[in-house]
Structure 1
C-alpha cells in the first residue's frame, strides 16, 4: 500500500486509507483549508470571552436554562435513568410518556396525530423516504434544508428544484412533470426569508400535490401560542405534513412530524429512521413536555423576539446591508466568497459579536455568510451594541463591495447610501423574568 505524505502522517492516521479515500481527504485540506481558508478554519475563529454577545444559538425563546424544564429533566433522570433502550416502533400502551407527548404535540399543532423522531434530520429523511419513490416527482425549493434533499435522495426520487420562493416557477415545473410532492421551509434557516405558503398551498391543491412544510424555525416562534406559521396563516387543512427540529425554539433534541392517525402508524413501520434508531430517552420526553408548557404559556417570549428582530432588521437595512429578504429572527450578513466571510467573522468577533458562519454546502458556492440569530433575552443595550458594531465595520469588511450589496443596489435601483437616514425605534416590550 502506498504510504501517504509526511504532512498527512503528522496530522492523522489517513496513511492506512486506500489511495482513493486518502486523496479525497487531502483534497479537502488542500482546496478548502489551504487555498480558501489560508490554513485556518472558516468556522473556528476566536474563543468567546465572558463579555461576548452570542448570536449563534437557535434558542430563540431563551428557554434552554428555564428552571421548570431543567427540573423536569433532572427528576426524570433520577427516577428513570435512561429507561428502556429500544426502537420507538416497539412503544405502545396508554401510559407511555412518548406516545402521550405525541398526542399533546398533535393537539398543539392542530393535527390529528404526530410522530416524535430522534432529530429534525431523522424526521425529514424518514418522511420523504416513506412518501416518495423513483416514480415520484419531488419539487423542492432550492434553499430547502439539506435533510429534505437527503430524504429525496434516500427515497430514490427525482428532485426537481424551483427558484427560491418563486410560485410561478413551481407551477411551471408541476405542469411539465406532473403531480407529486412539494417541499418548502416556512422560514429558511440560511437567511430568515419566509415562504409564500398560501400561494404554494393553492398551487398544490390545484395540481393535486402533497405539500410538506418544514417548520423548524417557526414552530415555537410563530402562530397561536407558537403553533407555527402554517397555523398562523390558517393553512392546517391544506398542508399534508409539517416537520420540525425541536433543537431550535424548543431547545431540545428531537424532531416532530404532524400527520393523520393512519399515517402515524404507517410511518413507524415504514420509515427506516423510525425502525432502526432508538427512541427518545425518558428525560428528553419529560423535558419536551415541560418545554411545551412553557412555550404555550409564555407568549411574551414570542413578542420579544419578534420585536428584537424587527428593530435589528430595520437598523441594518438602513446601514446598507442586504438582508436577503429576512422577515424573522434569522439575519444573514452575506459577504460572499469564503475569504471575505472570514474577514467579516474576524471583524465581528474582535468586537465581541459571535454569529454562525455558513458556507458550502450549507450555502451556494461564493455565497457564504455570517448568520445572526436573535433571541428573546437580548436587551436594548445588546441590540444597540450589535447595530453599532455592524455600522463600525462596514468599511473594514468592504461591505460596499460585497456581491450581496451590489445585488441589493441593483434590485433597489438606487444609488449607494452610506449613512442611515432614519431612526428605527427600539422595541418597547418588557422582558419577563
Structure 2
C-alpha cells in the first residue's frame, strides 16, 4: 500500500465505537501487563517469517495429508457434483446423508458402536461434557488436559477436581474422597507429547463406576493398528464411554468427533449446544475426511517414519541437556519457563531457520511457557540434524542450564559437562 492509498484508506475507515470504562480497563490490563511489560511491546506469538529454507515444526498434519492430491480431488469432485447443498444444523440430518455414512465408517474403524461428527474438536469436548454433566457430578480432569475439556466442565456448571498429570493413584484418592463422576484425560498430551497410562486409568474408572472420556486428538491416525488410536490399540474400546478427537491433526481437516454407544450418540446430538446451534459440516468437508480415512488406514510406513523421527530428535535433544523426558510422541517441548525467556528461545531458533510453536498462558501455566517442535513423517534426517545442530549451538545463548525444566529434570550437571566437552 503506497502513501496515497494509506491516506485514502485512513479517511474512509469508520470510527470505532468508544469502549465503556469496564471494557477499556480490562483490555488495557492485557496491553499494559503482557504486551508492554512482559513482551516489551512485541508479541510472543509473532516472530520472524519463515523462508523457503526454513524447517517448519509447527504443523499438526503429522502424516502430511493436508495437500494430498487424492484429498484435494475428492473435494473438487464433490463441489462440481453438488447442486443442492443445504446449510443447516446437524440435528436435521437423517436418512442416508454423506455425513451419517462417514460417522458409521469412523465408528467401525475405531471399533466403537457409533460416532457423531462435530464442527471441531473443541466443540466436541465442550458439547459432550455440557450435555452429559448432570448437576452435582464431580469431574476429574488431568491437570494437563486440553482447554476444551476444562471449558466443557465450566459450561456444564460443574466443579472440576484436578488430579496430578498421568497419576492414577492420585485420581483414585480423589474419587474415594468425592465419589463417582466423570474422568477426563488426553491419550497424548499436546504440549509435551506425554502418553497417558490408559490401562491404569480405565481400571480406576471401572473400580469406582465412573464415566471415562479420552481425547484422542493427537493419537487418532498416528497410533494403533491402522491408526485407530490408543484406546483401540490397547483393546479398551469396550471400557471407554467416549472417545473424542479433533480431526484437524492427522486428518488435516476442520471437524471433530465423538465416538460412543448409539444410545449416547442420540442423547448428545439433541442435547449438546454446539451440535444444536451450529451448522453441520459441508459436503466437500465430508468428502475430504472420507478420502483421508482411506489414506490413514494404509499409512503404516508414514506412521513408522513419524515415530522414528520423533524418537531420533527426542534422543538427541535429551543428550544435549534439554529436558524432553516427559514425552514419547511426536510433540517435543522445549520448556524455557517464563515468557521473557521463551521469546529469547523463539528468536534464537527462528534466526537460524527453525520454527516451532509458542505455547504460553492460557495454553500453559504462566511460568511454564515453551516452544513445541511438532515432528512430521516427511521430515528428513538432514532436517532433523539441522534442528539438533541449532539446539546445540544456542544452549548458552538461551541460558539452558538455568531453565526451571533443566533443573527439575536433573539435567544441569550433564549439560555443564556437555558444554565443557
Partner of 2:34: 32
Change (3 A) 1:414 1:169: farther
CA distance in 1, matches of 2:16, 2:316: 49
Is the CA contact (8 Å cut-off) linking 1:191 and 1:324 kept in structure 2?
no
Partner of 2:360: 359
1:134 Cα offset (Å): 2.8
Runs of 5+ consecutive residues of structure 1 not aligned to the other structure: 1-10, 422-433
Partner of 1:288: 289
1:415 Cα offset (Å): 5.2
The 4+ residue runs of structure 1 with deviation greater than 3 A are: 11-15, 412-418
CA distance in 2, matches of 1:12, 1:56: 36
Partner of 1:62: 64
Change (3 A) 1:216 1:13: farther
Is the CA contact (8 Å cut-off) linking 1:82 and 1:282 kept in structure 2?
no
Is the CA contact (8 Å cut-off) linking 1:308 and 1:374 kept in structure 2?
yes
2:45 pairs, out of 43, 59, 75, with 43
**Structure 1 residues 287-322: Cα deviation after superposition (integer angstroms, max 9, x where no partner):** 000000000012111111000000001000000000
Partner of 1:3: none
CA distance in 2, matches of 1:298, 1:135: 44
The answer as to 2:172 corresponding to 1:174 is no
SS in 2 for 1:123: helix
1:12 Cα offset (Å): 11
CA RMSD across the alignment: 1.8
CA distance in 1, matches of 2:40, 2:137: 44
Runs of 5+ consecutive residues of structure 2 not aligned to the other structure: 1-12
| Alignment length (residue pairs) | 409
Partner of 2:418: 419
**Structure 1 residues 169-222: Cα deviation after superposition (integer angstroms, max 9, x where no partner):** 111100000000000000000111111111000000000000000000000000
TM-score (ref. length: structure 1):
0.92
Partner of 1:105: 106
The answer as to 2:99 corresponding to 1:130 is no
Alignment of 1:228-377 (within 5 A): 228-377=229-378
Is the CA contact (8 Å cut-off) linking 1:15 and 1:22 kept in structure 2?
no
TM-score (ref. length: structure 2):
0.94
1:74 Cα offset (Å): 1.0
Partner of 1:89: 91
Change (3 A) 1:81 1:157: farther
SS in 2 for 1:250: coil
Is the CA contact (8 Å cut-off) linking 1:81 and 1:282 kept in structure 2?
no
CA distance in 2, matches of 1:312, 1:70: 31
Is the CA contact (8 Å cut-off) linking 2:401 and 2:412 kept in structure 1?
no
CA distance in 2, matches of 1:33, 1:15: 23
SS in 2 for 1:195: coil
SS in 2 for 1:93: coil
Is the CA contact (8 Å cut-off) linking 1:181 and 1:212 kept in structure 2?
yes
1:133 Cα offset (Å): 3.0
SS in 1 for 2:245: strand
Partner of 2:4: none
